């Protein structure tokens, strides 16, 4: 038996919920021309995949009704043009202002990101900051992790999925700014890239190594002496 009708019904159910916000199984069954029992099976399957949920609705008299709605994951199921928009915008900026200005703009963006991250991470030990950063970056689609480096020289901060990888293929300067971003997030550390998806590795990896007290003093002196 072909799975095409099942797939089309599932996709149609998700689209109905996207349009209506929430709906009962009976409402969706009526719109799709299937029985309520069949609709409920589809919805349970979508629920197991994390695409929909059904908080119980107890308002009004009578038995509680199950209103189904999309989860955040369910909304992400629908494609958006964000990546194409970003790629087109970068092409326009590079064409109109030139590559140097593009790098400057991305540098300003990275600096603003770093400031936000530093505020969220706080002034705690390095491992705690790495753990918090991994949580934040994972929410942004980077599938991040961290662990001690095998040579015991600092920590390895990894991103197994880069949410801007396809854009970075056309604009490698984005990867350069990512390195600067991590260096700005951890000003008390030496940060270097040791694995790179663009060079054939299956993940991007950065060594984050705490500076020695002498290096921290030197960095502070340079910072105070800068105009």
> pLDDT of 89-148, one tens digit each?
888 888 888 888 888 888 898 999 999 999 999 999 999 999 999 999 888 877 789 999
More confident residue, 209 or 65: 209
- 214 alpha-carbon distance from chain centroid: 36
Averaged confidence pLDDT in the chain: 83
pLDDT tier at 81, thresholds 50, 70, 90: low
Which H helix or E strand runs over 170?
helix 165-170
| Distances 13 to 30, 133, 144, 216 between C-alpha atoms, Å | 11, 36, 33, 58
Helix (H, G, I), strand (E, B) or coil at 226: coil
How much is the CA Rg of the chain, to the nearest whole Å? 24
How far apart CA 19 and CA 38 sit, in angstroms, is: 21
Percent of the chain with pLDDT over 90: 44
Cβ pair 191, 206 in contact under 8 A: yes
Q: What is the pLDDT of residues 139-197, one digit of tens each?
A: 887 778 999 999 989 999 998 877 777 788 888 888 888 999 999 999 999 999 999 88
Fold of 82-225: Muramoyl-pentapeptide Carboxypeptidase; domain 2 (3.30.1380)
pLDDT at residue 143 in the model:
78
Distance between CA 37 and CA 53 in Å, rounded?
A: 17
Fold observed for domain 4-76 = Arc Repressor Mutant, subunit A (1.10.10)
Locate 143 and state its tokens.
């599938």
**3-class SS of residue 105:** helix
pTM: 0.59
Q: Which residue has the tokens 């900051």?
A: 129
Average pLDDT over residues 195-208: 88
Q: Where in the chain is the domain with CATH 1.10.10.10?
A: 4-76
> Given its phi and psi angles, is residue 214 left (phi above 0), alpha (psi -120 to 50 degrees) or beta?
alpha
Do 110 and 181 meet the contact criterion of CB atoms below 8 Å apart?
A: yes
pLDDT at position 226: 46
């Amino acid at each position: 038996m072909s799975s095409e009708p099942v797939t089309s019904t599932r996709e149609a159910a998700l689209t109905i919920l996207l349009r209506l916000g929430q709906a009962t199984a009976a409402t969706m069954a009526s719109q799709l021309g299937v029985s309520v029992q069949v609709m409920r099976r589809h919805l349970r399957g979508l629920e197991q995949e994390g695409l929909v949920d059904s908080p119980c609705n107890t308002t009004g008299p009578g038995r509680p009704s199950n209103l189904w709605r999309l989860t955040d994951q369910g909304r992400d199921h629908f494609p958006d043009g964000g990546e194409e928009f970003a790629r087109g915008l970068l092409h326009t900026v590079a064409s109109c202002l030139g590559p140097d200005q593009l790098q400057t703009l991305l540098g300003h963006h990275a600096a603003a990101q770093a400031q936000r991250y530093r505020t969220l991470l706080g002034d705690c030990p390095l491992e705690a900051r790495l753990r918090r950063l991994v949580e934040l970056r994972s929410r942004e689609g980077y599938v991040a992790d961290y662990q001690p480096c095998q040579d015991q020289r600092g920590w390895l901060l990894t991103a197994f999925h880069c949410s801007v990888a396809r854009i970075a293929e056309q604009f490698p300067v984005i990867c350069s700014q990512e390195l600067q971003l991590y260096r700005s997030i951890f000003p008390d550390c030496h940060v270097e890239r040791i694995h790179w998806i663009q060079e054939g590795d299956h993940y991007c990896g950065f060594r984050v190594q705490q500076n020695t007290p002498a290096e921290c003093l030197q960095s502070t002196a340079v910072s105070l002496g800068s105009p």
